[in-house]
Structure 1
Amino acid sequence: MKTILRKISACVFFAAVICFTFVNSYAAEYQDTLRVGIYYGSDTQSSLTLESIKGFDIGFSSDRSFYPLETVGTTSVKALKSYAGTYHLLHSSHSTREELEDSLAELRGAGVNVFPAYYNSSYCAFSGVFTNQNDAQWQADNGGAYAIPVALSANALCLTDNETGNIILVVDHSTAGLAVFSADRQNSDSFLTISGSSKGTYRGGFECKALGSEALTVVNIVPVEDYLYSVVCREMSPSWHVEALKTQAVCARNFALGRINYHNKYGFDVCKTVCCQAYSSTADQSKNVHTAVDETRGELLFYENQLVQAVYSSSMGSSTENVKNVWGSNFPYLVSVDNSYEDTENVYNGKWEKKLTTARATELMKSYGIGTVTDISAIEYSDAGRVVKLRVTGTEGEKIFEREKCRTVFSEATYSQKYTITKGGIITHPSVFLSSYNSSKEKTLDSVSVLSGNNKTETISGKYVATNGKTTKSYSSTVTGGDPDTYTFSGEGWGHGVGMSQYGAKGMAEAGFDYEEILTHYYTGTHLEKAY
């Protein structure tokens, strides 16, 4: 293993157990912290209440840096959106934090109840809160200390002491966010707790922004290695062999550092769901996981000079898949390899059989305009045994799906691309003799058309009664071996099947392989380097 200090040439990718999309690469300096989306999009919060027994460092964040303005001893604070048009009194404005500290001390010494603010890109001393300019102006004229009223913009946020309700910080800036860390943030055991219904304890700090709405987008700013403590124990069982956990730590580290600024729309790198990597509070972290992360600290997997896109999924059956057959990409280290150490028969969703009715398949195909589904067929397989072309035929046309779509189009019935399809039931149609004036022919009922009572020609199906004018006889089709309107998907593996099998890594670790041997087996031609 080499020790290096370099730029990491990383490819941004959409990697997780669920879904991946490869896009263009970019070069990114190694970041020692990650920005993890906790509440965003449709899951924003009206406020955020944080607790810390050590007090808080409060300030603002900008360009991935935290700028503390003050340390407060209160143990509970609440961040929330300020109302546009709210007024405060501005007592002083400065270009540096040090100047602000001096001003706050002087004003407080004079009996003015001031608090820090980051306003119009300046370090400011504010006091009071007013709903209109007249009240603010009256206080400015009669308060005894120099002050002018200022109105907040739609971007403004405030932080209050949750015990007294008093404002202790205002941040009003188009791009900077309100940021809060524990006062002992330099301590490796520093935590912040989100209180309320979403209670959880997190490492690092939090940034809040309004992003044009009345609710808060909340980002956890956390050191990379601390982030891994949470991710590894959610992506892999903490009870597994430590060498398997080490492989997960390296893969998760590779993933995270290849994801910097990926969710830039919301101002963070990775989200907390399996869309990126599963991440939450510190509650379930274990000693095993800490050992795995600590003993691989700073280690990354490279292919030549490229940071490896270390994708993984739960189980893969007897072999992994070439990336070109899943996402259409070409990566020389993401090819099909043996996966015989995976105990597929005995892992969750390792072997599976799922059924899909014609009615449900038709519903899922509605947007493709092919009518009622009449057949579902795997028409091409990869060398590793995965479906790479799936044809769905309907009464009004057909649709052919390729690569990963062969798994996701009927995802409720297909846990991987490695499956076969059988259609339930054998339909037997009885035969009848049809006579004309000069001949007689035997035909099955499904090939006979009749003239109905409303003068329409219809194909016979189901149960019919025939008569020659003297006698009558009932005819009906019979079904054996199951429901002819049901497709059975029988397969193995759970997930996309590219890169490392997590259960395969478990099996290899239990067989005596170390994490470097496991990683270089699943990612062909790669090597580990200590990047920091």
Structure 2
Amino acid sequence: MKEPKVHVGILFEPQIEFILLNPYHINGMEISGKQVVTYNEGRILWNGRLYDELLFEPVNEATDAFELLDVTIGINFHWERKEDQRFLGSLKIIVENKKLTGINVIHVEDYLTSVISSEMSATASLELLEAHAVISRSWLLAQIHKNKEITESQAEYSAFTQTDEELIRWYDREDHTRFDVCADDHCQRYQGITRASTEIVKQAIAATRGQVLTSDGKICDARFSKCCGGAFEEFQYCWEDTPHPYLRKQRDFRIFNPKTCDLSFEATRPGGGLPDLTDEQKAETWIRTSPPAFCNTTDKKVLSQVLNNYDQETTDFYRWKVVYTQEELSALILKRSGIDYGQIIDLVPIARGTSGRLWKLKIVGTKKTLTIGKELEIRRTLSTSHLYSSAFVVDKEDVSPEGIPARFILTGAGWGHGVGLCQIGAAVMGEQGYKYDAILLHYYIGASIEKLYD
């Protein structure tokens, strides 16, 4: 197959301002410089005329670039901010949800060069960068193929189930129907050529060009997160109930033998095996302690490879703690969910996944009781942005005679959903001498590495 192109949704605003830094083609014209497009009653207003869609194409794909102004990054995260960003490739403007959507159309390998630099530091080890190149490429192509299947079958996709007693919702890239992926953490963090890529990133992309992870003849849905907290989560506890054989439970800890790529378990050594973290008592013990794992590190050199400057604003991720007063928690849950539970009496764990992450949590209030899930819904409900993870236990303090706690203490593990590659764990493995294929096969169990195109 030929190298495909990807459509990336960058920003979603009533008005989009951008600068064509080189000559671009549109409707037989060649233009450059600053442009403004505005939403106008279901159409796009540009230079005094209305359009249904606009496509600005570079004269020279390899070098021509455009700049989008005031792009929001870290949407709904604690470090959300706006910045101007530059991109290679084409710029497509469409109408969507009574706003304009700016879409970058770009070759997969150019897209990946940015993703690797955006997701982590471009100074990371070559082995980590090569591993991330393969999983980012795999995830992207798997999503494009999945979206095509849904479109061709005209199947309805549901990420929401609700009864009087339960609200289960998950969030995935199927939210996007007019482009392949978005540019934020909802999909893969992509910021064009805003942050200059280093030679080592380009080397990692070139060395793995066209390589993907496969399982049972299909491209792997290669998910990844910042820190698994010492144990891998399984796909079905975060998204739809479709287990993947390569996204299975496992401990993020292995015998070190990079020369032979020995990936056998540490089960014969103390603490080597993974407890059944779907069991509440075992999950609580796991979360309240700090068992050894690849991602259990405070090494600033390693962390600087994975975390960009704004990610380094988060210092505690392997094990963390959040404290809420009754007033704070009840107001927060009301604001984030739109549901008035009254005063919060309890947060009751109902079901956990294989990493100890809650995928069902019962919120007990004086006015209402409801079980919510899955993991991201729980994290969104219990934080002004996103709780680090849903692997947490709850302590209540100063409970009144009426049973109303004055404070809630959430003690948790990991950062993100914990499915697939653990970026911090993979960084540690790279520093310890593991090759990129050994890193990949540690996190994607039983998968194979294949080359799709040259």
TM-score, structure 1 as length reference:
0.58
Q: Show the counterpart of 1:517.
A: 438
Q: Tell me the secondary structure at the aligned position of residue 110 of structure 2.
A: helix
Say if 2:216 is the partner of 1:304: yes
Q: Tell me the secondary structure at the aligned position of residue 15 of structure 2.
A: coil
Shift of 1:498: 1.1
| 1:284-338: CA deviation from partner (whole Å, max 9, x where unpaired) | 1222221111111111111111211111100012211122333343111111112
Say if 2:146 is the partner of 1:235: no
Relative distance call for 1:324 and 1:82 in structure 2 (3 A) is: closer
Say how many residue pairs are matched. 352
Shift of 1:280: 1.5
Distance 2:399 2:363 in 1: 20
Q: Show the counterpart of 2:186.
A: 275
Q: Tell me the secondary structure at the aligned position of residue 208 of structure 1.
A: strand
Q: Which of 35, 50, 60 is the matching residue for 1:78?
A: 35
Relative distance call for 1:83 and 1:401 in structure 2 (3 A) is: closer
Larger Cα-atom Rg: 1
> Letter of the aligned partner of 2:325 in structure 1?
T
Q: Is 385-394 or 266-275 further displaced after alignment? A: 385-394
Relative distance call for 1:516 and 1:82 in structure 2 (3 A) is: closer
Q: Which structure is higher in helix share?
A: 2
Contact residue 45 and residue 217 of structure 1 kept, 8 A: no
Distance 2:419 2:39 in 1: 47
Q: Show the counterpart of 2:349.
A: 378
Distance 1:275 1:212 in 2: 18
Q: Tell me the secondary structure at the aligned position of residue 232 of structure 1.
A: helix
Shift of 1:264: 9.1
Q: Show the counterpart of 1:182.
A: 58
Say if 2:65 is the partner of 1:192: yes
Q: Which of 231, 236, 247 is the matching residue for 2:131?
A: 247
Q: Show the counterpart of 1:59.
A: 26
Shift of 1:484: 5.0
Relative distance call for 1:202 and 1:263 in structure 2 (3 A) is: farther
> Letter of the aligned partner of 1:344 in structure 2?
N
Q: Show the counterpart of 1:221.
A: 105
Contact residue 254 and residue 310 of structure 1 kept, 8 A: yes
Distance 1:195 1:314 in 2: 27
> Letter of the aligned partner of 2:369 in structure 1?
E
Relative distance call for 1:39 and 1:376 in structure 2 (3 A) is: closer
Q: Show the counterpart of 2:392.
A: 419
Distance 2:55 2:111 in 1: 18
Relative distance call for 1:78 and 1:384 in structure 2 (3 A) is: closer
Say if 2:20 is the partner of 1:50: yes
Distance 1:157 1:525 in 2: 52
Say if 2:334 is the partner of 1:353: no
Q: Tell me the secondary structure at the aligned position of residue 516 of structure 1.
A: helix
Q: Which of 296, 313, 325 is the matching residue for 2:225?
A: 313
Q: Show the counterpart of 1:202.
A: 87
Q: Show the counterpart of 1:294.
A: 206
How is 1:413-452 mapped onto 2 (pairs within 5 angstroms)?
A: 414-425=387-398
Q: Show the counterpart of 1:487.
A: 408
Distance 2:369 2:39 in 1: 55
Say if 2:391 is the partner of 1:506: no
Distance 2:138 2:213 in 1: 7
Shift of 1:76: 2.9
Relative distance call for 1:203 and 1:345 in structure 2 (3 A) is: same
Ranges in structure 2 where 5+ consecutive residues have no aligned partner:
72-83, 148-172, 254-292, 304-314
Relative distance call for 1:357 and 1:330 in structure 2 (3 A) is: same
| 1:338-384: CA deviation from partner (whole Å, max 9, x where unpaired) | 21352425264222110122223323444445432122233554454
Q: Show the counterpart of 1:333.
A: 246
Ranges in structure 1 where 5+ consecutive residues have no aligned partner:
6-29, 61-68, 85-153, 160-166, 428-445, 447-458, 462-482
> Letter of the aligned partner of 2:124 in structure 1?
W
Distance 1:357 1:423 in 2: 10
Distance 1:183 1:192 in 2: 10
Q: Tell me the secondary structure at the aligned position of residue 143 of structure 2.
A: coil
Q: Tell me the secondary structure at the aligned position of residue 258 of structure 1.
A: helix
| 1:399-447: CA deviation from partner (whole Å, max 9, x where unpaired) | 33344144443145842122222123478xxxxxxxxxxxxxxxxxx5x
User: Once the two structures are aligned, what percentage of the paired residues are identical?
Assistant: 26
Distance 1:247 1:195 in 2: 30
Distance 2:33 2:178 in 1: 25
Distance 2:322 2:40 in 1: 53
Relative distance call for 1:406 and 1:158 in structure 2 (3 A) is: closer
Distance 1:196 1:529 in 2: 39
Aligned Cα root-mean-square deviation (Å) = 3.4
Distance 2:339 2:68 in 1: 46
Q: Is 248-257 or 219-228 further displaced after alignment? A: 248-257
Q: Which structure is higher in strand share?
A: 1
